[in-house]
A and B are shown apart, each in its own frame.
Chain A
Amino acid sequence: MPSSTSNFKGKLGLPRLFFAKPSEIVPRDYERPIPQVPWRGMTVVVVLIVIAAAAAWEFYCRSIGYGPTLNDNEDLWTMTRRRVKPESIIIVGDSRGWFDLDLDELQKGLGKRPVQLAMGGASAYPALADLANDENFHGTIICSVVPYLFFAPPGTPPMQNAEKAVRRSHTQTPAQRASQYLAMPLEEHVAFLKQEELTLDDLLKRLPIPNRPYAQMPPRLPPYFGTLDRERRARMIEECARPGSELQKRIQQIWLPLFTPPPPPSYIPKEVFLAKMKEAIETRFRDVIAGVNKLRARGGKIVFVRLPNSGGLKALEDRDTPRTQTWDPLLKGTAAPGIYYEDFPELSGFNCPEWSHLSAGDSVEFSKRLVPHLRKALEM
């Protein structure tokens, strides 16, 4: 009597093929050689060494001030980008938008919890353009502007960082998505998982190996000074906010070369290079205006904000990217509202401990004071 399985097989040709036993193929004798060593013992020793080394490294990293935090990578950005709804309030821009704007206070004041899409060391433009091109989106954008980053030409790190994240949000594979979900619990508990600071590559970069004269090296990035949560809300760590701390001073000195434009490449005449830069900035103005108009045409809103800076970095930014050449033409060209912190006494009294960002505590107070200005600018 045929079984139900054989009936099933009999009815369908494909399953019969699928379950048929192979018969004609003769096993071949190819086998890889396996080294004859005491595998179990060796494996146990390896596992113990790796666990001990990882624990020691974790202990050491914590002892020198590192703590667990999420890595800000394109997959975390994509995860947040996916939360955007047609009427969301979205923060785009640079790390000041990240550190200085407190989501709880903005939610209280604006009635909606903003989605944090600002990125460290990134230009706001790629995210802005992405939202402007998103036909479903007609919400509100709060755009942080650091002119040196906002007007960064194509091909520079601020643009590449942002474009990488935007691109990932359109091309993320299920595997990349799963990896992000698996990585987050680990990153929230293990201090040495810092993709831009404690990797082997970064440790090698710190080796005191002399360079040839004229070797072209990118400027150093600041060390760990903030934590990031699953909403991508950044908070400055206490050690960095502590007045006069060593970490604070180190970061201050890193901002200066980082915010100084690199010299023109040797293979392009200086005048040609400067003309290209000028053209790139003009193109950016045009593209931003086009993006803002597109957004407005769908009923969306945008407000530009200039967030606090201090000390030597403020002097450098004011000198190299003066308001009259960056901020003012941006507002004029887009006809969008803008909030420049220096224009308002209640916003201008904050000190950035490492010259570029507010401390966790100040970011709450600053956001609270910013809300009325945002409401007015957005006509809420």
Chain B
Amino acid sequence: MLFNSLTFVVFFIVVVTAYWSIRSWNARKNLLVVASYIFYGAWNPPFAALLFSTTAMDFWLGSRIAKANGRHSRRMWLVGSVCMNLSMLGFFKYGNFLLQNFQWLLAQIGIIYQPPHLDILLPVGISFYTFHSLSYTLDIYRGVLQPTKSLRDFILAVSFFPQLVAGPIVRAGDFLPQLVTAPGLRMGQFLWGLLLMTLGLFEKIVLADTMLSGSADRVFSYAGPLVALDSWLGVMAFAGQIFFDFAGYSICAIGAALCLGFHLKDNFRFPYAAIGFSDFWRRWHISLSTFLRDYLYIPLGGNQVRPVRAAINLVIVMFLGGLWHGAAWTFVVWGLLHGSYLVIERVIRVFFEDARWANNFATKFLAGLATYTAVCIAWVFFRASDFTIATRMLRGMFGGHAHGDAILSGREMLQIGIVTICMILVHWSLRESNIETAVTRLPRWIVTTAWALMACAIILTQGSSNAFIYFQF
């Protein structure tokens, strides 16, 4: 079920009404479990069984880890959980990719092998709910979480419908405590949740799908050479599209959760105002970057190792982060590029961090623009379906097609320009703040008018049915 669909509107009204009408907290939680499975099953009912089985396994493994005596047996149970989750992910998401690469490797040594194409349907959101579930056993192993005795509560923590299929990656340790006591209906919180849902849908339907996606698609699918202007505009359009698409989903999820009395953490914090790449990853897909930091980077040694080893750790983490996004080498290159950016940034910081000029606004702003530009270059690999397209795009961006084609219309160029400039201005003006503070400080009439305009624009777009980009991950 998509947030931007009529089915979800009706579903959400029914669930919220029923939820706040029921007095018993247990009954409310049961209702949310049923609603979440309906939400998920509305894509492909059999996959709800897969979701349940991985959840139940992790529930059981979590209790085994907690009960195990000795480090060795705790570790064995954890390995069981990690293997179970990652093999599930590996089979559904990376099965064909692994086979294709195996075929290529054999071909390099002269063995011709034609693997069968596995007709595997990717369960929607499997990368997200696998991580929701995995965080539970990992946190129990790390000793920062006690296992819950209620399977129902754990099922709800993994499958809570606002965050189930495209994040944020809510850790069981952040969600389970909210299931201890029943939240009360607070009108301000509820209506703020609705405003956030409006904002999220506006970002997705109006800004991502209507204003930017068409141009990005046209540029990336154009089979010929493009002039530099069109190439850059296409990449900028995608940079905006993916932000509004994914941040829009996260804001919707946060808003929907608030309407039900739950608090999810921010997943984006104005990332295009980042100064440097470590700052970017503190602002972009925060739930994934903190997941990778806590469960991968720090266990590898984090910063507490020699600089070269720390740099290798960073690249390993970003390599896996890239692969998490999709079973293709283009995603791996995207991750490796970000890993390289992070390493280069560290080197630069060693030399210039304490320089006085490095901390004035002009330098920071230029560094921010450089960060945005480098992030855009990396997006080429994220968006391009193969390296031929990525290479063609990069050549276009760096003037390799002086006599290339100009395909974007004046309207499209204007849309990309206006949306991108406004987005960057908003990100810079709020980079040290948050949306709640902005709404509190702004005059009431501006907030009210903006809310009404966003709602009108959503109605005017007539509910585009484009799926969110991150669903495929």
Q: Is B41 an interface residue (CB 8 A)?
A: yes
- Asked if B150 contacts A209 (CB within 8 A), the reply is no
Instruction: Verify if A271 is at the interface (C-beta below 8 Å from B).
Output: no
User: Which segment of B284-292, B329-337, B439-447 sits at the interface?
Assistant: B439-447
> Are A267 and B150 neighbours in the complex by a CB distance under 8 Å?
no
Partner of A31, one of B44, B148, B263, B406: B263
Query: Is A199 touching B456 in the complex (CB atoms < 8 A)?
Result: no
In angstroms, Cα B462 to Cα A203, docked, is 12
A175 interface residue, CB < 8 Å from B?
A: yes
- Residue B366 is within 8 A (CB to CB) of chain A in the complex: no
Q: Is the CB of A36 within 8 A of B174?
A: no
Contact indicator A20/B149 (Cβ below 8 Å): yes
Interface residues on A, range: 35 or more
What 6 pairs between A and B have smallest CB-CB spacing?
A: A267-B224, A175-B42, A24-B146, A49-B452, A39-B191, A17-B151
Q: Which of A18, A35, A210, A214 counts the most chain B CB atoms within 10 A?
A: A35
Interface stretch of the complex, out of A178-186, A219-227, A293-301, A367-375: A178-186
Render B420-452 as a binary contact track against A, CB cut-off 8 A, 1 for contact. 000000000000001011011000100111011
Closest-CB distance, B177 to chain A (whole angstroms): 5
- Contact of A32 with B by CB under 8 A: yes
Cβ-defined contact, B177 with A28, below 8 A = yes
Say whether A23 contacts B149, CB under 8 Å: yes
Asked whether any CB of chain B lies closer than 8 Å to the CB of A40, the reply is yes
> Count of chain B residues with Cβ under 8 Å from any Cβ of A?
77
Q: Does A319 contact B (CB under 8 A)?
A: no
- The residue of chain B having its C-beta at the shortest distance from the C-beta of A268 within the complex is B224
Taking a contact as CB atoms under 8 Å apart, the answer to whether B411 and A203 are in contact is no
State whether B451 touches A21 (Cβ < 8 A).
no
**Does any Cβ of B come within 8 Å of A266's Cβ?**
yes
Inter-subunit contact A210/B6 (CB<8 Å): no
Chain B interfacial positions (CB closer than 8 Å to A): 1-2, 5-8, 10, 26, 41-45, 59, 145-153, 174, 176-181, 186-189, 191-192, 194, 206, 210, 214, 223-225, 254, 258, 263-265, 405-411, 414-415, 434, 436-437, 439-440, 444, 447-449, 451-452, 455-457, 459-462, 464-465
Q: Tell me if A266 and B224 are in contact (CB < 8 A).
A: yes
In the bound complex, do residue B6 and residue A35 qualify as a contact, i.e. CB atoms below 8 Å apart?
A: no
Task: Chain A residues near B187: list those with CB within 8 A.
Answer: 39-40
Closest chain A residue, CB of each to CB of B436: A33
* Complex Cα gap A49–B45 (Å): 39
Output the residue of A20, A178, A179, A265 with the most chain B CB within 10 A.
Answer: A179
CB-defined contacts of B254 to chain A, threshold 8 Å: 32
Contact A200 B410 (CB under 8 A): no
Q: Are A32 and B411 in contact (CB under 8 A)?
A: no
Asked whether, in the complex, the Cβ of B414 is within 8 Å of the Cβ of A42, the reply is no
Q: Chain A residues near B214 (CB, 8 Å)?
A: 201
Contact A46 B448 (CB under 8 A): yes
Contacts of A209 in B (CB 8 A): 409-411, 414
4 additional contacts (CB under 8 A) given A178-B10, A199-B461, A216-B406: A22-B153, A23-B149, A31-B263, A33-B434
CB contacts (< 8 Å) of B456 on chain A: these are 49-50, 53-54
Tell whether, in the assembled complex, residue A215 and residue B448 are in contact, meaning their CB atoms are under 8 Å apart.
no
Contacting residues, chain A, for B461 (C-beta < 8 A): 199-201
Q: Are A37 and B410 in contact (CB under 8 A)?
A: no
Contacts of A176 in B (CB 8 A): 5, 7, 465
